[in-house]
Amino acid sequence: MSMTAQDVLKLIKDQGIQIVDTRFTDLFGGWQHYSLPASRLTEDMLSEGLGFDGSSIKGFQAINESDMLMLPDPSTAFVDPMLTVPTLVMTCDIIDPIERKPYSRDPRNVAKKAEAYLKSTGVGDTSYFGPEAEFFLFSDVRFSQGANHSSYFLDSPEGVWNTGAAVEGGNKAYRIRHKEGYFPVPPTDTLQDIRSEMILKMAQVGIEIELHHHEVATAGQCEIDMKFDTLVRMADKLQRYKYIVRQVARTHGYSATFMPKPLFGDNGSGMHCHQSIWKNGEPLFFDETQYALLSKTAQYYVGGVLKHAPALLAICACTTNSYRRLVPGFEAPINLVYSQRNRSAAIRIPTYSSSPKSRRIEFRAPDAMANPYLAFSAMLMAGLDGILNKIEPPPPLDVDIYELSPEEKGDIRGTPGSLAEALDALEEDHAFLLEGGVFTPDLLEGYIDAKRRETVALSLRPHPHEFAMYYDA
The answer to the question of whether 115 is labelled as a binding residue is: no
Catalytic residue from among 53, 67, 140, 208: 53
Q: Rounded CA gap, 370 and 357, in Å? A: 27
Q: Rounded CA gap, 116 and 110, in Å? A: 10
Catalytic residue from among 215, 225, 229, 385: 215
Cite the DSSP H helix spans in 172-329.
Answer: 192-204, 231-251, 296-316, 322-325
Select from 236, 234, 242 the least CA-distant residue to 24.
Answer: 236
The answer to the question of whether 65 is labelled as a binding residue is: no
- Residues 151/118, Cβ–Cβ less than 8 Å: no
Q: To 10 degrees, the CA torsion angle through 454, 460, 464, 466?
A: 130
Catalytic residue from among 93, 189, 223, 225: 223
The answer to the question of whether 101 is labelled as a binding residue is: no
The answer to the question of whether 362 is labelled as a binding residue is: yes
Q: What is the DSSP letter of 365?
A: S
Catalytic residue from among 195, 240, 359, 364: 364
For residue 237, give every residue at least 6 positions away whose Cβ sits within 8 Å of its Cβ, in sequence order, or none. 206, 207, 226, 229
43 is catalytic: no
Catalytic residue from among 115, 134, 236, 367: 134
Beta bridge mates, 37: 19
The answer to the question of whether 452 is labelled as a binding residue is: no
The answer to the question of whether 407 is labelled as a binding residue is: no
CA 403 from chain centre, in angstroms, equals 31
288 is catalytic: no
Q: Rounded CA gap, 389 and 205, in Å? A: 40
The answer to the question of whether 275 is labelled as a binding residue is: yes
Q: Rounded CA gap, 275 and 302, in Å? A: 10
The count of residues in the chain is: 473
The answer to the question of whether 430 is labelled as a binding residue is: no
The answer to the question of whether 272 is labelled as a binding residue is: yes
The answer to the question of whether 325 is labelled as a binding residue is: yes
Q: What is the DSSP letter of 219?
A: T
The answer to the question of whether 364 is labelled as a binding residue is: yes
The answer to the question of whether 177 is labelled as a binding residue is: no
466 is catalytic: no
The answer to the question of whether 215 is labelled as a binding residue is: yes
Cis peptide before 406 (omega within 30 of 0): no
308 is catalytic: no
Q: Rounded CA gap, 93 and 105, in Å? A: 11
Catalytic residue from among 142, 343, 453, 463: 343
SS3 259: coil
Catalytic residue from among 21, 158, 362, 385: 362
The answer to the question of whether 274 is labelled as a binding residue is: yes
The answer to the question of whether 276 is labelled as a binding residue is: yes
Cβ atoms within 10 Å, residue 264: 7
134 is catalytic: yes
The answer to the question of whether 343 is labelled as a binding residue is: yes
272 is catalytic: yes
The answer to the question of whether 40 is labelled as a binding residue is: no
Catalytic residue from among 175, 272, 308, 348: 272
| 79 to 8, 15, 92, 229, 289: CA distances (angstroms) | 10, 9, 15, 21, 48
- Residues 344/332, Cβ–Cβ less than 8 Å: yes
208 is catalytic: no
Catalytic residue from among 21, 132, 225, 229: 132
* CA dihedral for 445, 447, 448, 452, sign (positive or negative): positive
> What residues are annotated to the active site?
53, 132, 134, 215, 223, 272, 343, 362, 364
Binding-site sequence positions for L-glutamate:
267-268, 325, 331, 343, 364
Tell me the binding residues.
132, 134, 210, 215, 223, 267-268, 272, 274-276, 325, 331, 343, 357, 362, 364
Binding-site positions for Mg(2+) read 132, 134, 215, 223, 272, 362
> Which residues sit in the known binding site for ATP?
210, 274-276, 343, 357
